[in-house]
Chains A and B, each alone.
Chain A
Amino acid sequence: MSGSPFVAARPLLVAEPRVRIPLLPGDRIVVSAGTNVAAGDLLAERVRDPRLVEVDGDGLAAASHPGAWIAAEPARRGTAPAGELLFEHGGRRRIATGPHPDLVTAPAAGRVVAVHPGVELVLQLGGAGIPGTELLGDPGHGRLALLLADGDGRIPLEVAHAGAIVVFPGRADAQTLTRARAMGIAGAVVPALAERDRRDVVASEARQRAGLHRLAPFPVLVLDGYLRRALAGPMREILAILAGSEVGLVAAPPMLVTARAPRDLPLPDPDRVRVRGGPEVGREGRFAGLAGPRRLPGGIVVETARVELDDGRASVVAVGDLERFT
């Protein structure tokens, strides 16, 4: 019996992903369910500094439902501003309104399949998605470029990458990401990002959002976790194929999306595993069967597996420290 079912599976490719674009009450939606969109198409106008206004419902246009967009119209006292109807109670309407200087655009080509005002838009995308663990910032899109570390482990950023979504080969830090944004880079994909750097990136994004002239979004997709590790081999292989093509970064679920179909992208051998913890962390190899329960340093007894590592060695690794790609 193959033992690989006991190894935690990690999806490498998701076919035709369905993604959610978060909205807030007061955002003005400009598409409807069934609309086909291309990358960069306007989906909604985002309200900034929304406020609540309460208007007398008597004498206004016909009754409406919560979530409906209410156009500006004369009211008993002055003019009721345009906005999203939150609810109506006691003959009075509560409307979320405010200026809409920010634009929400489609991160990739697809079709709008559901519209929930104030909550989300749901897009059905073609192609494939590569899941990550978190997206920091708003969704975005651009040409994919792979960065290479120099001999000292530094990652050179070039002006030529302006407008691109760049892939960092190892863990990045907030300073490098801020520099990338300043150079006009459209987004980043990182294998890992420490919590402190995540906070800095989110704070930077919030500052941009508060600015009068908002810059383009700068999404950062974290593929793995928080601790320093390199890109997984199978992931690196797929990203190398996608280099130069247009991709999008989305938040819900967090993933990189491409128009390429999954069948056009390479999946690893089913027995291919990566070590994500323990002494062999970061190494990859082939699952060669279960090795039975063994005691780890520290005293806990766990299921283990034999792994033929790429460097030619054979090693026994805790099953929990392995991951395979599906």
Chain B
Amino acid sequence: MAAAETDKTNQTGLRAFAEEASRRIDLAREPYDDAKLRKPPLRRFLSEFNYMLEPIKRARAKPDIRPAASPKRVMLIPGFGAHPWRMRYMAQQLERAGHRVKRWGMGYNFGPSPEVFDKLERRLEKVFERKGEQLHLVGWSLGGIYARELAKRHPDKVAKVVTLGSPFSGDPRNNNLCAQPADRGRCPCQATGRDGRAVEPGRRDRPCQLRARPTRRARPRGGAALLAYGVLLREGFDRGDRCRTRRRAARARRRMSEFFDEMRMPEGEVREAYADYDKWFWQQDASWLRKKAKEAEGVFRKTGITFNVYGEDAAEERLIPFDMVPRIIAAREWRSLEKGIEQRVRALNAFMHDIYHKQEILRAGIMPERLIRDNDAFLPEMVGFNPPGGIYTHIVGTDLVRTGPDEFFVLEDNARTPSGVSYMLENRETMMAMFPELFTRVGVRPVQDYPRRLARSLAACAPERCEGRPKLGVLTPGIYNSAFYEHAFLADQMGAELVEGSDLRVVDGKIAMRTTRGWRAVDVLYRRVDDEFLDPLTFNPDSMLGAAGIMDVYRSGGITIANAPGTGIADDKAIYSYMPEIVEFYTGEKPKLKNVETWRCSDEDSLKYVLDNLAELVVKEVHGSGGYGMLIGPAASKKELREFRAKLETNPQGYIAQPTLSLSTVPILTRQGLAPRHVDLRPYVLVSPDKIDLVPGGLTRVALKQGSLVVNSSQGGGTKDTWVLDD
């Protein structure tokens, strides 16, 4: 093990080693006749290395091949981990003799699995049916075992089987190679430079598979691969699966290598934050992991963690797919994020206060007045009003993306009503229930107390006229809202009442809810209803979702509304483009977190640039959210580009453009194994008069489609548990 690793991982590694070894001890305990076991002559053993000379020999040698008297149809089946081209030379020679050679039709042989075998059977049937002629099967190594099995199942279609170096039983001892040195008591893997790669190509740090048998006397002589291979056969398909998994992952890695992968470096080495997880992962059984993934889905369905998709049948509830590979953030990375987010949120609050009071930022000429004046999210009702505790944005869910080791960008600030925090909590809950041992191995900072911290933070912003302990309420639009589950979840966890607009009315200058014992005052309302629907008397008169008169109560200090009405202005994408200036203006510091470069299409030069480079840019509506109404240039069709160009020309002020970011990737577990997918990150920040509280974690959204950059759950994104590591 590498010296850099901690003692803890050493121990767990050893434990895993011991487990592995004892699991396989049966293998070594089978009785057999010791006397028959002899080592091969040294000469033979060394002659194995002749294969290195093959290319030279082949170039010069002209094997004397005579035409066959009765040409046959031959199918060549490659060995484990090999491709048919490895048998091409043989195929050429066979063809020279007049035989017809067929490939096995599946490329690399990644080990046995029911699917592979099915395909092979079908292939055999097809070739047989085409000419009605029995086949001669030539199998190399594992291919030979396939060939035998095929002959057994289809004796009518196979004329003959030739196997090259195939083991003739699963017992590794039949290979004459597993002899152990009595004095050293080490396993053959170590003795042969850890040549256990037939089991897991590309892995060197995996604990050894076999325990030494001290009674053996013969010395190991290479070929441990074959030995491990025997193990592979005994263990059935699973190992092979894993190998395939790993190779596919490697290929996918190559494809995605232009992006920053958070788990692996471009050379394939695992980054430090993922080291413990990675080790754990490869000790798990692939099919068991898949079973767990299924289970997790069942749990989510059972607990009803669902959301509704806008525009679909109201009764339809969907699951947000959960991926069980966590997104891991190192302690150091988190610390710098934390500082950046804190600074940004502080600036946001100051900005909100300013634009609803003196508007100094406009006077300083930092941003044009029009951006505030013409903004629907700007509420004149809030002008000159001080919200309780001076807090506007009680809960902020900053959307971050990553493009490199220390390259985090803020994509959106979400100062209105950021959602998704219940997934952060349930994902953790699910991970802990599924893989408890993982959490004993890896030090992950807890997020479970978020609801308590939220309740505390909200209570700290109680309004002036509040007697006793502030009574909390969560205002939901109702059970058909897409995020209803979250509303209920948070109310439940905070011990707050989950209220709907119809439960509320103004009683004695306070907002009160209708209870079984009459009207009871609510002091702090965590509302999950948009500004527009909050008060039919002030805003949209048709709204049934809000409470009539709540704005008057609010302005007279009878209730705290979180987040404050009018904070939506900070979510405006045109305002976003000024965030670096905003941060600097209010904090006097350089912004610690970067903004994504943004072209405001209202600006003539920018518009020209955007139109010229439309195919490379992401264009967003200034007021849009949820991934709707945006254009991803590189992925758009010509028609879409044309349409967007027209939109931009007619209403340039409605749009901004950003470069297409190379979002970082984190692997997800697919049927084929680990595969990198693009992710973003939304940590949740709680703001109260005395502190800015950041829960170590957040919601990682992941685009499940390969290459896709859209992570929104309404458009096929999934989520991951997000781990912030302990120091």
* Real binding pair: no
Q: Which A residues are closer than 8 A to B by beta carbons?
A: none
Q: Which B residues are closer than 8 A to A by beta carbons?
A: none
